[in-house]
Amino acid sequence: TQLLEQSPQFLSIQEGENLTVYCNSSSVFSSLQWYRQEPGEGPVLLVTVVTGGEVKKLKRLTFQFGDARKDSSLHITAAQPGDTGLYLCAGDPSGSSNTGKLIFGQGTTLQVKP
Protein backbone atom coordinates (compact mmCIF):
# COMPACT_ATOMS: atom_id res chain seq x y z
CA THR A 1 0.00 0.00 0.00
CA GLN A 2 1.36 3.38 -1.01
CA LEU A 3 1.31 5.94 1.76
CA LEU A 4 2.17 9.59 2.07
CA GLU A 5 3.32 10.74 5.50
CA GLN A 6 3.07 14.43 6.28
CA SER A 7 4.93 16.15 9.08
CA PRO A 8 4.32 17.91 11.26
CA GLN A 9 0.62 17.17 11.70
CA PHE A 10 0.02 20.46 13.50
CA LEU A 11 1.99 23.71 13.51
CA SER A 12 1.23 26.92 15.38
CA ILE A 13 3.52 29.87 14.70
CA GLN A 14 3.63 33.65 14.94
CA GLU A 15 3.16 35.92 11.97
CA GLY A 16 6.47 36.52 10.19
CA GLU A 17 8.03 33.16 10.99
CA ASN A 18 9.20 30.66 8.38
CA LEU A 19 8.09 27.04 8.25
CA THR A 20 8.51 23.84 6.26
CA VAL A 21 6.03 21.01 5.81
CA TYR A 22 7.23 17.62 4.62
CA CYS A 23 5.53 14.92 2.59
CA ASN A 24 7.38 11.60 2.48
CA SER A 25 6.85 8.16 0.99
CA SER A 26 8.79 5.01 0.26
CA SER A 27 7.07 4.86 -3.13
CA VAL A 28 7.72 6.73 -6.35
CA PHE A 29 5.07 9.13 -7.63
CA SER A 30 4.77 10.44 -11.18
CA SER A 31 3.66 13.77 -9.75
CA LEU A 32 2.75 15.40 -6.46
CA GLN A 33 0.14 18.03 -5.82
CA TRP A 34 -0.26 20.37 -2.86
CA TYR A 35 -3.68 21.59 -1.78
CA ARG A 36 -4.82 24.03 0.89
CA GLN A 37 -8.14 23.61 2.65
CA GLU A 38 -9.74 26.34 4.73
CA PRO A 39 -12.45 25.61 7.32
CA GLY A 40 -15.82 24.96 5.72
CA GLU A 41 -14.36 24.68 2.23
CA GLY A 42 -12.95 22.02 -0.05
CA PRO A 43 -9.24 21.67 -0.85
CA VAL A 44 -7.87 24.03 -3.49
CA LEU A 45 -4.86 23.17 -5.63
CA LEU A 46 -1.73 25.21 -4.98
CA VAL A 47 0.80 23.52 -7.26
CA THR A 48 1.74 20.35 -9.13
CA VAL A 49 5.34 19.14 -9.31
CA VAL A 50 6.25 16.50 -11.87
CA THR A 51 10.03 16.42 -12.35
CA GLY A 52 12.48 15.05 -9.79
CA GLY A 53 14.35 17.95 -8.19
CA GLU A 54 11.83 20.48 -9.44
CA VAL A 55 11.34 23.69 -7.44
CA LYS A 56 8.29 25.90 -7.90
CA LYS A 57 7.55 29.21 -6.24
CA LEU A 58 4.17 30.74 -5.58
CA LYS A 59 4.75 34.14 -3.94
CA ARG A 60 6.01 33.25 -0.41
CA LEU A 61 5.50 29.50 -0.93
CA THR A 62 8.29 27.30 -2.30
CA PHE A 63 7.57 23.72 -3.32
CA GLN A 64 10.21 21.10 -4.00
CA PHE A 65 9.95 17.59 -5.43
CA GLY A 66 12.66 15.17 -4.32
CA ASP A 67 15.18 13.92 -6.84
CA ALA A 68 13.83 10.37 -6.52
CA ARG A 69 10.19 11.59 -6.70
CA LYS A 70 9.39 10.02 -3.33
CA ASP A 71 9.07 13.16 -1.25
CA SER A 72 8.17 16.82 -1.39
CA SER A 73 8.37 19.87 0.82
CA LEU A 74 6.50 23.14 1.17
CA HIS A 75 8.35 26.11 2.63
CA ILE A 76 6.51 29.28 3.62
CA THR A 77 8.50 32.45 4.17
CA ALA A 78 7.21 35.16 6.53
CA ALA A 79 3.93 33.39 7.27
CA GLN A 80 0.77 35.48 7.52
CA PRO A 81 -2.58 34.77 9.22
CA GLY A 82 -4.07 34.24 5.77
CA ASP A 83 -1.84 31.18 5.37
CA THR A 84 -3.80 29.42 8.12
CA GLY A 85 -5.38 26.19 6.91
CA LEU A 86 -4.95 22.48 6.28
CA TYR A 87 -2.18 21.67 3.79
CA LEU A 88 -2.54 18.39 1.93
CA CYS A 89 -0.08 16.64 -0.32
CA ALA A 90 -1.41 14.18 -2.86
CA GLY A 91 0.55 11.80 -5.04
CA ASP A 92 -0.25 10.27 -8.39
CA PRO A 93 1.22 6.76 -8.27
CA SER A 94 3.41 5.90 -11.21
CA GLY A 95 1.46 4.13 -13.89
CA SER A 96 -1.96 5.11 -12.62
CA SER A 97 -2.98 6.18 -16.13
CA ASN A 98 -4.22 9.52 -14.83
CA THR A 99 -7.51 8.17 -13.54
CA GLY A 100 -7.39 10.59 -10.65
CA LYS A 101 -6.58 7.97 -8.04
CA LEU A 102 -4.59 10.36 -5.94
CA ILE A 103 -3.17 9.21 -2.63
CA PHE A 104 -3.47 11.88 0.04
CA GLY A 105 -1.39 12.53 3.11
CA GLN A 106 -3.19 13.08 6.40
CA GLY A 107 -2.55 16.81 6.23
CA THR A 108 -0.72 19.50 8.19
CA THR A 109 -2.85 21.98 10.10
CA LEU A 110 -1.14 25.38 10.13
CA GLN A 111 -2.19 28.16 12.47
CA VAL A 112 -0.52 31.55 12.05
CA LYS A 113 -1.16 33.92 14.93
CA PRO A 114 -1.14 37.69 14.32
Partner 1 sequence: ETGVTQTPRHLVMGMTNKKSLKCEQHLGHNAMYWYKQSAKKPLELMFVYSLEERVENNSVPSRFSPECPNSSHLFLHLHTLQPEDSALYLCASSQAPVENSPLHFGNGTRLTVT
Among 88, 108, 110, 112, binds partner 1 (CB under 8 A): 88
Per-residue burial over 15-39, b = 16 or more CB atoms within 10 Å of its CB, e = otherwise: eeeebebbbbbeeebebbbbbbeee
Per DSSP bridges, beta strands 44-49 and 19-24 are unpaired
1 binds partner 1 (CB under 8 A): no
58 binds partner 1 (CB under 8 A): no
Return the residues of window 9-48 that contact partner 1 according to CB under 8 A. Answer: 9, 31, 33, 35, 40-45, 48
CA 19 from chain center: how many Å?
Answer: 12
Among 82, 95, 100, 114, binds partner 1 (CB under 8 A): 100
Among 107, 108, 110, 112, binds partner 1 (CB under 8 A): 107
